[in-house]
């Protein structure tokens, strides 16, 4: 399988990364090289093989459903590019 430049632009939009036409062109070549490389996997017969979900055999740990953390909103927003009254500030989303 290979991708064309329009697919790369669509994927870049899905990933929320702005790309120029030049960058999209360069990425199209790079991505096709990588996709050609991973095509080797087509040689492997994976019928009746379960996909791996965890490398370590351990049942999922569950903690008690209780509050153990919190009450430091100022710490949470401390690194935000814009914040006010412990809220993250973003451009207007709803008119």
Partner 1 sequence: MSELTNLTLAEARDKLSARDISASELTGAFLDAIAAGNPALNAYVAVTGDEARAMAARSDEKLANGTGGALEGIPLGIKDLFATRGVHTQACSNILKDFKPHYESTVTANLWADGAVMLGKLNMDEFAMGSSNETSCHGKAINPWRRKDSDQALVPGGSSGGSAAAVAAGLCLGATATDTGGSIRQPAALTGTVGMKPTYGRCSRWGVVAYASSLDQAGPITRTVRDNAILLRSMASVDPKDTTSVDRPVPDYEAAVGRSVKGLKIGIPAEYRVEGMQGAVDSLWQQGIAWLKDAGAEIVEISLPHTKYALPAYYIVAPAEASSNLARYDGVRYGLRVDGTDIADMYENTRAAGFGTEVKRRVLIGTYVLSAGYYDAYYLKAQKVRTLIKRDFDLAFQAGVDAILAPATPDAAFAPGEFSDPVSMYLNDIFTVTVNMAGLPSLAVPAGVNGDGLPLGLQLIGRPFDEETLYSLGSTIEQAAGRFEPTRWW
Residues lying near partner 1 in the complex (CB under 8 A): 1, 3, 7-8, 11-19, 27, 30-31, 33-35, 37-41, 43-44, 46, 49-56, 58, 60-61, 63, 72, 75-82, 88, 90-93
Q: List, in sequence order, the alpha helices (H) in the chain.
A: 5-14, 21-38, 73-77
Q: 22 and 2 in contact (C-beta within 8 Å)? A: no
CB of 65 to partner 1, least distance (A): 14
Helix (H, G, I), strand (E, B) or coil at 63: coil
CB of 7 to partner 1, least distance (A): 8
CB of 67 to partner 1, least distance (A): 15
Q: 28 and 4 in contact (C-beta within 8 Å)? A: yes
């Amino acid at each position: 399988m290979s991708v064309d430049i329009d697919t790369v632009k669509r994927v870049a939009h899905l990933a929320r990364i702005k790309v120029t036409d030049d960058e999209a062109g360069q990425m199209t070549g790079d991505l096709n090289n990588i996709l050609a490389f991973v095509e080797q996997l087509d040689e492997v017969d994976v019928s009746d093989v379960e996909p791996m979900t965890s490398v370590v055999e351990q049942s999922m740990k569950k903690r008690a459903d209780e509050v153990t953390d919190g009450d430091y909103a100022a710490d949470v927003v401390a690194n935000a590019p814009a914040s006010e009254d412990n809220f993250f500030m973003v451009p207007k989303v709803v008119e």
